[in-house]
Amino acid sequence: MTAPISVESATGSIYDLGYRGYEGPRLGRAHAIRSLFTHSLRSTFGIGRGARAKIAPLALGAMAVVPAVAFVGILALAARFGEGTSDLIEESSPFGYHTYFGTMSTFVILFCAAQAPELFGRDQRHGVLSLYFARALRRSDYTLARIAGFVTALLILQLFPQTVLFLGRVLLAPDVVAKIGDDVPSIPPILIQGLLSSFLLGGLAMAVSAFTPRRAYATAGIIALFVIPGIVAGVVAGIGSTDIGNVLFLLSPTSVLDGTNAVLFDIDFASEFFFIDLPDWSYFAAAIAGIVGSIAITLRRFVKVTA
Amino acid sequence: MPSPTSWSATLGGAARSPERNPTPPPRRSGTLCPVPLISVRSLTKRYGTVTALDGLSVEIEAGIVGLVGSNGAGKSTLLKILLGLIDATSGDASVFDLDVASHGTDIRQFVGYMPEHDCLPPDASATDVVSHLALMSGLPRTAARERTAEVLRHVGLYEERYRAIGGYSTGMKQRVKLAQALVHDPRLLLLDEPTNGLDPAGRDEMLELVRRTGTEFGIAVIVASHLLGEIERVCDHLVAIEAGRLLRAAPLHAFTERTGTLAVEVEEGSEALAARLTAAGLEAIADGRAVLVAVADERPYDVVRDAIAELGLPLVRIEPRRHRLEDLFRDGPGEAVAADAEQPPPVTAAPAADPPSADPVSGAPG
């Protein structure tokens, strides 16, 4: 049974409501900052953007996690062959908490080079900055929210594979409780190294991309900044100048992170970097100086940039 | 000084406390504002050796205000200082009775800005851009979405709002720029050359949108433009600036009021006519095909009619000459102000003795 159509509904007209004002809440600056942070985090992974914007971040993210997944898969296979096998595999495997930051560093650097210009470069290239700065935000709010979003993205990128590794190791172990006891002490170093790495690489990548609207320049600049100093340090030390080599080592972001990683996970560093002779604290000091410096430079840039 | 009950005091309070829901400034059609909407005092802005604003002082009341001046006169600079996008070199300015240098975010919550240049990312859709910017103005997420749909419909973007902006025409982009300036229901709208790059039809539509925004929505509007003809069509007040200085600020009609001059245009013989009129005791000079006659009372009309008839000249039109906006910039600032001081004579009736004058187009006899 259909209801009979009344005269009113049949002849009901569509009213042009015209412009209506907004009388609801205005949440102001803090809300704008939070929203921009979320937007930056999502944009870094290409979420909320077209399909093409997702290719690079998702591909690099997948590459960063593939070794961890593969390792867990091997552990699962090994579990069928009895207890001894998986222990043997773990010992001989190149994939552990202490090596994984190094394993995925190439992908993290490429991720920085590909995605940092997406945030600052895009806003500058298309003149969007003046729309941001004309809103309930300060220039510094904009800058810090963008950096925080990118750093958080890097943190997720790097901690996700470590989580896969942890869950795989624990859940596939014959004695889960004992394995948790073994692995939990590794969590603080993982978190600290993850934070240092995300802030240092993220801060520097954002600083470089803040200075040019051109995407290609920013990408090249980021890769150069992350790769070249390490090579130079190695070469200089290799030809015998340990003192200069030491200084250059601390100027290379990736080398500094190798240093903090070695200290945090208590690895014998000297065997790999025989030419380096630096105190443990110097790596952390260099990392923190790099983080603070890069953020300060970026803030200064956006205070001055014309919009 | 703002009274304690004025909204500006409330706004200032909201800035200090965790700002939840600051009271908006009143709509311009609402309660009377105790202070000018915008107040600018000896504002100077220098870029290196270039002086963009040179000691500009002006008070602007709510309305649709045209900010006119040639390119480089300092229009955009003034708007940007009002928004807190750039700092003034010296002097100060306030919007809603709040200082622009210290209360930028409080002011900008209630101001919409449409920049002159391109400012939209081509790979995002209009919906994405406008709703994101609504969040940046402090609107909650659901409100941002609803207002975006509403305001885009309002500026005339329908299905295309889900497509990437890169494929939009200039007219559509200008509409999106206007929409993002309106999405948070501002109390003041700053539009910088809103008809830039539009074809004549697009211009008409944009100007109509601007006019409706100002008259129907109770939003104060400042339109910066170098095109006087457009400003004339939508604004009720004009602020004219030149080389960073104030030329004049007045209601629009004051700019275009009649002068004490009658323009008599003839096909030929303007020199002879001028001579005849001068001989008859009038102040008359030939200006190309026209003769400009000073009129203080009714007498010149009859003299002009008779002179034309006696000389047998082909008359094109007779009309009282008005000030034109262009004169503002053609003459020096001093002259424009002086001309304004002249009281126009009460020219009420067109010279009925000359039928051609009623229709200037078909007026050529013979």
Spell out which residues of chain B touch residue A137, defining contact as CB-CB under 8 Å.
105, 108, 136
Q: Which of B328, B141, B323, B181 is nearest to B248 (CA)?
A: B328
Regarding predicted confidence, which is higher, B325 or A227?
Answer: A227
Confidence of residue B180 (pLDDT cuts 50, 70, 90): very high
Question: Are B261 and B249 in a shared domain?
Answer: no
Give the tens place of pLDDT for each residue, A19-59: 778 888 888 899 999 999 999 999 999 988 878 889 999 99
Do residues B117 and B261 both lie within one domain? no
> Which residue bears the tokens 């790979």?
B123
- B258 three-class SS: strand
| Average predicted confidence (pLDDT) for chain A | 86
- Residue B344 and residue B282 share a domain: yes
A269-283, pLDDT tens digit by residue? 665 565 567 788 989
* CA separation for the pair A202, A67 (Å, rounded): 23
- Kindly state whether residues B58 and B102 are assigned to the same domain: yes
Verify that B93 and B241 share a domain, yes or no.
Answer: yes
Q: Which of B156, B108, B154, B158 is CA-nearest to residue B133?
A: B108
* Type of residue numbered A155: L
Residue B175 is classified by DSSP as H
Task: Looking at the structure, tell me whether residues B185 and B242 fall in a common domain.
Answer: yes
Domain count, chain B: 2
- Is any Cβ of chain B less than 8 angstroms from the Cβ of A215? no
Answer for the pair B235, B68: CB distance below 8 angstroms, yes or no: no
Angstrom distance (rounded) from CA B366 to CA B351: 21
| B86, B45 Cβ separation under 8 angstroms | yes
| Residue B20: pLDDT band with limits 50, 70, 90 | low
Does residue B245 sit in the same domain as residue B284?
A: no
Q: Does residue B347 belong to any structural domain of this protein?
A: yes
The CATH number of the domain holding residue B310 is: 3.30.70.100
Tokens of A59: 């591909």
> Under an 8 A CB cutoff, do A133 and B83 touch?
yes
Lowest-pLDDT range of A145-149, A158-162, A246-250, B86-90: A246-250
A137–B113: do the CB atoms touch at under 8 Å? no
Please indicate whether, in this complex, the C-beta atoms of A28 and B22 are within 8 angstroms of each other: yes
Cβ atoms of residues A133 and A307 within 8 Å: yes
The whole-number pLDDT of residue A271 equals 56
Residue ranges making up the domain that contains B180? 37-254
Residue at a domain's end among B254, B270, B298: B254
Assigned domain for B24 exists = no
- Residue-wise pLDDT for B136-147, tens only, equals 999 999 999 999
Structure-derived torsion over alpha carbons of residues A65, A67, A71, A73, reported in degrees to the nearest 10: 60
Residue B26 lies in a domain: no
Distance CA A126, CA B330 (A): 37
Instruction: Report CA B4 to chain centroid distance, whole Å.
Output: 33
In this prediction, residue A8 has a pLDDT band, given cuts at 50, 70 and 90, of: very low
CATH number of the CATH domain containing B226: 3.40.50.300
Helix (H) or strand (E) holding A280: helix A280-304
Q: Say yes or no: A51 contacts chain B, CB-CB below 8 A.
A: no
The minimum CA-CA distance between A302 and chain B, rounded to whole Å, is 11
> What pLDDT, on a 0 to 100 scale, did the predictor assign at position B330?
58
Same domain, B264 and B238: no
Residue with tokens 């520097």: A204
Could you tell me if A39 lies within 8 Å of chain B, comparing CB atoms? yes
B17 located within any domain: no
Query: What is the pLDDT, as a whole number, of residue B261?
Result: 81
Residue B277 lies in a domain: yes
- Highest mean pLDDT among A149-163, B239-253, B321-335 belongs to A149-163
Question: HSE (CB half, 13 Å, CA atoms) of B304?
Answer: 33
Q: Report the percentage of chain B scoring pLDDT > 70.
A: 78
Interface of A with B in 60-89 (CB under 8 A): none
CA dist., res. A140 & res. A299, Å (int): 6
Residues B115 and B170 placed together within one structural domain of the fold:
yes
A25/B83 CB distance under 8 A: no
E-strand spans in B148-225? 188-192, 220-225
Q: Of B112 and B321, which is predicted with more confidence? A: B112
CB–CB contact B136 A132 (8 Å): yes
User: Is B137 in Cβ contact with A35 (below 8 Å)?
Assistant: no
Other CB atoms within 10 A of residue B251 CB? 11
Residues B239 and B286 placed together within one structural domain of the fold: no
Closest CA to A261 of A103, A112, A92: A103
Among B254, B284, B308, residue at a domain's last position:
B254
From the CA of B57, how many Å to the nearest CA of chain A? 23
Q: Which of A301-305, B235-239, B334-338 has the lowest mean pLDDT?
A: B334-338
CA–CA dist A127, A132 (Å, integer): 10
Give the count of Cβ contacts less than 8 A between chain A and B.
Answer: 126
Please state the rounded mean pLDDT for residues B324-346: 47
Of all residues in chain A, the percent with pLDDT exceeding 90 is 48
Report, as an integer, the average pLDDT of B23-45. 73
Beta strands per DSSP E along B194-352: 220-225, 237-242, 245-251, 258-266, 284-287, 290-294, 315-322
The answer to whether position B283 is within a domain reads yes
The partner residue sitting opposite B180, judged by closest CB among A18, A25, A131, is: A131
The Cα of A73 is separated from the nearest Cα of chain B by a number of Å equal to: 39
Sheet holding B237-242, edge to edge: B111-114, B188-192, B220-225, B64-68, B237-242, B245-251
Residue A231 has what pLDDT? 86
A26 and B147 in contact by Cβ < 8 A? no
pLDDT band at B49 (very low <50, low <70, confident <90, very high): confident
Task: Read off the tokens for B183.
Answer: 């999405």
Q: Which residues pair with B258 in a beta bridge?
A: B322
Q: Which residue has the higher pLDDT, A160 or B325?
A: A160
pLDDT grade for B72, boundaries at 50, 70 and 90: confident
Q: Min CA distance, B95 vs chain A (Å)?
A: 14
Averaged pLDDT for residues B306-314: 86
Cβ–Cβ below 8 Å for A35 and B105 = no
State the pLDDT confidence band at A83, using cuts at 50, 70 and 90.
Answer: low
pLDDT for position A17 = 57
- In angstroms, the Cα distances linking B41 to A103, B100, B276, B320 are 62, 12, 53, 38
CB B223 within 8 A of CB B191: yes
Q: Is residue B236 part of a domain?
A: yes
Instruction: Inform me whether the C-beta atom of residue A27 falls under 8 Å from chain B C-beta atoms.
Output: yes
Mutation for testing the B interface, residue in A14, A15, A19, A124 having most B CBs under 10 Å: A19
| Residue with more model confidence, A50 or B200 | B200
pLDDT at B23: 72
Domain boundary among B217, B238, B254: B254
**Residues of B whose CB is below 8 A from A35:** 132, 135-136, 141
pLDDT band at B335; cut points 50, 70, 90: very low
Residues B309 and B237 in one domain: no
Return the minimum-mean-pLDDT range out of A9-13, A283-287, B251-255: A9-13
Q: What average pLDDT score do residues B291-300 get? A: 82
Q: How confident is the model at residue B358 (pLDDT cuts 50, 70, 90)?
A: very low
Distance CA(A122)–CA(B131), nearest Å, equals 18
CB contact under 8 A, B119 and A18: no
Distance, CA of B260 to CA of A13 (rounded, Å): 54
Q: What is the pLDDT of residue A154?
A: 96
Chain B residue numbers touching A306 (CB-CB < 8 A): 86
Residues in chain B with CB shorter than 8 Å from the CB of A30 are 18-19
Same domain, B250 and B274: no
Q: Do A28 and B122 touch (CB under 8 A)?
A: no
Interchain CB distance below 8 Å, A21 and B132: no
- Establish if B48 belongs to a structural domain: yes
